[in-house]
């Protein structure tokens, strides 16, 4: 039947082809037309799925706290107005991408990433409810921007955290048992947020840094909350791990000329994640694995005198800076670390490390110095 159908289709194409066009050209034209139609339908399905998720978010919040949703609806302002204000005076981030990104004015290399100073400011931005994500309107079926697809889950999670905070203070009554009945909505929202963040971090042109940092801080606040974290970690832990791996890969694989400024936001995000006690251990393990694998590749290339990736060598130093700072923070925050964050990766990293440093120190002194400093932190009595 399939062969007969294909033969009938071929005869139909040959019979109906316009004059001056070969059967092959006409077939390719029909294939492109059908493909474009399929793409259009897929896009419409994605938009409708996003709208269904938004409605489920509204319904879940209403079930948890009807009073909050009623008051919030009265105080809502137009999101388009707020977005318009944001566009009138946007953060001049694109201008930062125009320079080389070399920062020689700061004595502390990790502080130049802005992680320590930006973290407190980001927490302040999350705690305030007066920002451009105050209200997300119903999705426009004709046009859905990437910014809107990211703002929707951020807005929902922010309101969920606000309800949690008000209920904890006794100001508002809330029934969080509804999360057990509808775990799909919160997990889908977290997944949508992670996908949106990954898209923007992969993009060569970023929106304002606060746009991404705010989304990350909302995610971390959700994970830190005692009553909400289980609903996220239980269903979305693998997705969060994949997000961290993607950020590390973005740093390693970026080859743009002005990548240092572009990677600033990615590095800041990894620093924020590393400050979270729940996610810190796995992030350190991922960083140890990435640095170790590159060191082995570099040693092999050095021994056989083959060409190595100079761009990736420059990028790996950024991961080393983040890793060193996370280990240093762990040492300063607790005299005795109760978590075996390194585990197998720590053992692999330290194995034959002295020989690796010995062979690489002459030609790659900076990278060898980073390896040695990381090994000192790993071997210190406070980190065991």
Report pLDDT digits (tens) over 47-62: 888 888 889 989 988 8
Q: What is the pLDDT of residue 68?
A: 73
Domain that holds residue 324: 277-331+343-383
pLDDT in tens, 98-112: 444 444 444 444 454
300 shares its domain with 220: no
- What lies within 8 Å, CB to CB, of 300 at 6+ separation is 306
pLDDT in tens, 16-31: 888 888 888 888 888 8
289 shares its domain with 236: no
Report if residue 85 sits inside a domain.
no
Report if residue 317 sits inside a domain.
yes
Report if residue 376 sits inside a domain.
yes
Contact by Cβ (8 Å): 148, 139:
yes
User: Would you call 27 helix, strand, or coil by DSSP?
Assistant: helix
Contact by Cβ (8 Å): 181, 228:
no
Read off the pLDDT band of 69 (50, 70, 90). Answer: low
Q: Give the range among 44-48, 102-106, 229-233, 372-376 with minimum mean pLDDT.
A: 102-106
pLDDT at residue 82 greater than cutoff 60: no
Report if residue 207 sits inside a domain.
yes
Domain limit, last residue, from 235, 257, 275: 275
283 shares its domain with 270: no
Q: What is the pLDDT of residue 71?
A: 62
260 shares its domain with 160: yes
Q: What is the pLDDT of residue 77?
A: 41
Read off the pLDDT band of 290 (50, 70, 90). Answer: very high
269 shares its domain with 288: no
291 shares its domain with 229: no
Q: What is the mean pLDDT of residues 76-99?
A: 41
Q: Give the range among 24-38, 64-78, 224-238 with minimum mean pLDDT.
A: 64-78
As a whole number of angstroms, the distance between CA 156 and CA 59 comes to: 11
Report if residue 64 sits inside a domain.
no
Domain limit, last residue, from 238, 256, 275: 275
260 shares its domain with 373: no
Nearest of 372, 365, 281 to residue 330 by alpha carbon? 281
Percent of the chain with pLDDT over 70: 73
183 shares its domain with 158: yes
The whole-chain average pLDDT of the chain stands at 77
257 shares its domain with 316: no
Read off the pLDDT band of 168 (50, 70, 90). Answer: confident
pLDDT in tens, 136-163: 445 454 445 677 778 889 999 999 999 8
Domain limit, last residue, from 228, 249, 275: 275
In the chain, the number of structural domains is 2
Length of the chain, in residues? 384
pLDDT at residue 352 greater than cutoff 50: yes
Report if residue 154 sits inside a domain.
yes
Read off the pLDDT band of 381 (50, 70, 90). Answer: very low
255 shares its domain with 196: yes
Report if residue 315 sits inside a domain.
yes
Q: What is the pLDDT of residue 119?
A: 44
As a whole number of angstroms, the distance between CA 210 and CA 125 comes to: 8
Q: What is the pLDDT of residue 341?
A: 55
End-to-end CA, the chain: 68
Which two three-digit tokens encode residue 75? 């105080």
198 shares its domain with 232: yes
- 175 — alpha (psi -120 to 50), left (phi > 0) or beta? beta
Report if residue 39 sits inside a domain.
no
309 shares its domain with 359: yes
Nearest of 227, 210, 212, 213 to residue 160 by alpha carbon? 227
Contact by Cβ (8 Å): 192, 236:
no
pLDDT at residue 133 greater than cutoff 80: no
CA distances from 46 to 40, 60, 143, 144 (A): 10, 21, 12, 10
pLDDT at residue 340 greater than cutoff 60: no
Percent of the chain with pLDDT over 90: 22
Stated as kind and residue range, the H or E segment containing 231 is: helix 229-253
Which two three-digit tokens encode residue 351? 């194995």
């Amino acid at each position: 039947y399939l062969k007969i159908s294909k033969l009938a289709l071929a005869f139909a194409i040959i019979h109906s082809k316009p004059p001056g066009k070969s059967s092959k050209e006409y077939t390719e034209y029909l294939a492109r037309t059908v493909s474009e139609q399929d793409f259009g339908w897929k896009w419409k399905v994605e938009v409708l799925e996003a709208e269904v998720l938004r409605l489920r978010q509204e319904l879940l919040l209403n079930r948890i706290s009807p009073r909050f949703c009623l008051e919030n609806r009265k105080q809502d302002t137009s999101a388009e107005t707020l977005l318009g204000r944001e566009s009138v005076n946007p953060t001049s981030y694109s201008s930062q991408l125009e320079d080389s990104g070399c920062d020689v004015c700061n004595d502390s290399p990790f502080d130049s990433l802005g992680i320590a100073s930006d973290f407190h400011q980001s927490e302040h931005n999350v705690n305030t409810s007066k920002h451009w994500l105050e209200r997300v309107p119903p999705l426009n079926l004709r046009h859905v921007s990437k910014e809107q697809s990211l703002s929707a889950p951020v807005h929902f999670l922010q309101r969920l955290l606000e309800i949690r905070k008000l209920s904890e203070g006794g100001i508002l009554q809330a029934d969080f048992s509804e999360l057990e009945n509808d775990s799909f909505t919160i997990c889908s929202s977290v997944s949508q947020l992670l996908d949106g963040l990954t898209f923007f971090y992969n993009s060569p042109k970023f929106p304002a840094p606060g746009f991404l940092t705010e989304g990350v801080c909302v995610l971390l606040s959700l994970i830190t909350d005692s009553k909400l974290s289980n609903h996220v970690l239980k269903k979305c832990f693998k997705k969060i791990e994949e997000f961290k791996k993607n950020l590390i890969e973005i740093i390693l694989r970026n080859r743009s000329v002005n990548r240092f400024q572009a990677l600033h936001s990615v590095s800041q995000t990894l620093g924020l994640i590393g400050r979270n006690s729940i996610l810190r251990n796995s992030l350190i393990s991922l960083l140890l694995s990435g640095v170790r694998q590159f060191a082995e590749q570099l040693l092999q290339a050095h021994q056989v005198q083959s060409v190595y990736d100079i761009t990736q060598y420059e990028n790996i130093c950024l991961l080393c800076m983040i890793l060193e700072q996370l280990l240093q923070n762990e040492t300063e925050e607790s005299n005795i670390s109760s978590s075996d964050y390194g585990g197998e990766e720590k053992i692999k990293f330290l194995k034959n490390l002295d020989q690796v440093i010995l062979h690489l120190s002459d030609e790659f002194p900076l990278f060898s110095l980073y390896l040695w400093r990381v090994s000192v932190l790993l071997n210190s009595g406070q980190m065991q």
